[in-house]
Chains A and B, each alone.
Chain A
């Protein structure tokens, strides 16, 4: 039992070491709006990415329609439908768009999901109060990779 605990503690350490290899938001480098390689240092999981499309900080379908997500109601019309984006854009381009869409589409309405500075009156989530301390990006490095992996499954 004790040994098992120690093994899982060791695993946890490895996992967090994996995390610390994530590229911090300010250090992500964009090339024509695209980001060449995984920002978490890990591959993305399309199933996990699928969930981010709906709930919480992602809520991509607030603005985008996605046919394969029709089990969730009320897709928005603010951005283009995402059907077929896996054909239209490369993995690196999608990673760039999801991390900071303003690099690909200057001044776009799409929020920057992997950015932590440069905001005007940033709030403490949806409380209306001022943010305290350092901001977290809207999505973690791994969530960005998961969403990108999901988007790559959207082929015509």
Chain B
């Protein structure tokens, strides 16, 4: 649990150094999508969080212009991925003549599913991300090829499943059989990787609200994934974001779909328990 005390120490030094200037705050805006889906962007931190009282969606740290793009589905380019996901939902593929819809019915019936992933799968004896579950359905039930973990078809389908859960609270289980995976993710979160020796916590726990060069640091929550980024004009996956942040510490990153990133995804998701599912969100 590297960097625990360090986080605290430097946070203290920081307050002193800045002469108590209170910059570490998100803005006060509130988010309702399409004038009807109320999104909880601020919540009491889940009990397992030791150093944070309140959790905030990354939306609260973005500029008014970026925020606005997510407030209406006609403006949100991430919804184009959702549209493609809808087509795939009922498209028959593979040797069994099945589509997602043949087992799961209307996609609206999947409301609430995204909110509890990653999740322990009893039969497989492992924590599964929603991508892993989707690929398991494709392989074992449809007799279809697995999709590339962070490829377009997969990400559009994850965006679709997120979109029908919007407004519902993130609520992943961290106890029972999921606990050891969660602990592993927590350890990764607090490890100072790379030649810059920075942990996720250094930036997203000790310094959220502060500027790091031109970036306004958020809490690095993943309730809004997949995320449409104005910077690369596409839907971005959780694991690609993790990879980017670790790369920026001059570190050798873990790979997409690795056990490390699955564990980290469970842990980071649990830091946002109580926030609304918000994907596909819009960020810069």
Choose the segment among B82-90, B103-111, B136-144, B189-197 that binds chain A (4+ C-beta atoms closer than 8 Å): B189-197
What are 16 A-B residue pairs whose CB atoms fall within 8 Å in the complex?
Answer: A63-B212, A77-B212, A81-B17, A81-B18, A107-B7, A121-B252, A123-B195, A123-B249, A123-B251, A126-B248, A127-B247, A128-B243, A128-B246, A128-B251, A129-B252, A138-B195
Q: Tell whether, in the assembled complex, residue A74 and residue B13 are in contact, meaning their CB atoms are under 8 Å apart.
A: no
Closest to A108 in B: B10
Q: Tell whether, in the assembled complex, residue B9 and residue A105 are in contact, meaning their CB atoms are under 8 Å apart.
A: yes
Q: Tell whether, in the assembled complex, residue B196 and residue A111 are in contact, meaning their CB atoms are under 8 Å apart.
A: yes
Q: Taking the complex as formed, is B148 at the interface, i.e. its CB lies under 8 A from any CB of chain A? A: no
Q: Taking the complex as formed, is A69 at the interface, i.e. its CB lies under 8 A from any CB of chain B? A: no
Compute how far the CA of A122 lies from the CA of B6 in the bound complex, rounded to whole angstroms: 20
- Specify the main secondary structure of chain A where it touches its partner: loop
Q: Tell whether, in the assembled complex, residue B213 and residue A120 are in contact, meaning their CB atoms are under 8 Å apart.
A: no
Q: Taking the complex as formed, is A12 at the interface, i.e. its CB lies under 8 A from any CB of chain B? A: no
- Max count, chain A CB within 10 A of own CB: residue among B3, B18, B213: B213
Q: Tell whether, in the assembled complex, residue B6 and residue A107 are in contact, meaning their CB atoms are under 8 Å apart.
A: yes
Q: In the complex, which residues of chain A have a beta carbon less than 8 angstroms from the beta carbon of B193?
A: 119-121
Contact residues on A (Cβ < 8 Å of other chain), bracket: 35 or more
Q: Tell whether, in the assembled complex, residue B13 and residue A105 are in contact, meaning their CB atoms are under 8 Å apart.
A: yes
Q: Tell whether, in the assembled complex, residue A78 and residue B6 are in contact, meaning their CB atoms are under 8 Å apart.
A: no
Q: Tell whether, in the assembled complex, residue B252 and residue A79 are in contact, meaning their CB atoms are under 8 Å apart.
A: no
Q: In the complex, which residues of chain A have a beta carbon less than 8 angstroms from the beta carbon of B191?
A: 120
Q: Taking the complex as formed, is A9 at the interface, i.e. its CB lies under 8 A from any CB of chain B? A: no
Q: Tell whether, in the assembled complex, residue A109 and residue B214 are in contact, meaning their CB atoms are under 8 Å apart.
A: no
Compute how far the CA of A43 lies from the CA of B207 in the bound complex, rounded to whole angstroms: 35
Compute how far the CA of A81 lies from the CA of B246 in the bound complex, rounded to whole angstroms: 26
Q: In the complex, which residues of chain B have a beta carbon less than 8 angstroms from the beta carbon of A122?
A: 194-195, 250-252
Q: Tell whether, in the assembled complex, residue A119 and residue B195 are in contact, meaning their CB atoms are under 8 Å apart.
A: yes
Q: Taking the complex as formed, is A23 at the interface, i.e. its CB lies under 8 A from any CB of chain B? A: no
Rank and list the top 3 A-B pairs by shortest CB-CB distance, nearest first: A107-B6, A80-B17, A128-B247
Q: Taking the complex as formed, is A11 at the interface, i.e. its CB lies under 8 A from any CB of chain B? A: no
Q: Taking the complex as formed, is A56 at the interface, i.e. its CB lies under 8 A from any CB of chain B? A: no
Q: In the complex, which residues of chain B have a beta carbon less than 8 angstroms from the beta carbon of A61?
A: 213
Q: Taking the complex as formed, is A76 at the interface, i.e. its CB lies under 8 A from any CB of chain B? A: yes
Q: Tell whether, in the assembled complex, residue B194 and residue A119 are in contact, meaning their CB atoms are under 8 Å apart.
A: yes
Q: Taking the complex as formed, is A7 at the interface, i.e. its CB lies under 8 A from any CB of chain B? A: no
- Max count, chain B CB within 10 A of own CB: residue among A76, A81, A109, A122: A109
Compute how far the CA of A78 lies from the CA of B206 in the bound complex, rounded to whole angstroms: 9
Q: Taking the complex as formed, is B198 at the interface, i.e. its CB lies under 8 A from any CB of chain A? A: yes
Compute how far the CA of A126 lies from the CA of B14 in the bound complex, rounded to whole angstroms: 27
13 more CB-based (< 8 A) A-B contacts, given A111-B197, A123-B194: A76-B213, A79-B14, A79-B17, A80-B13, A105-B10, A107-B3, A108-B10, A109-B10, A111-B198, A120-B191, A120-B192, A126-B248, A126-B250
CB distance from A100 to the nearest CB of B (A): 11
Q: Taking the complex as formed, is B253 at the interface, i.e. its CB lies under 8 A from any CB of chain A? A: yes
Q: Tell whether, in the assembled complex, residue A62 and residue B246 are in contact, meaning their CB atoms are under 8 Å apart.
A: no
Q: Taking the complex as formed, is B232 at the interface, i.e. its CB lies under 8 A from any CB of chain A? A: no
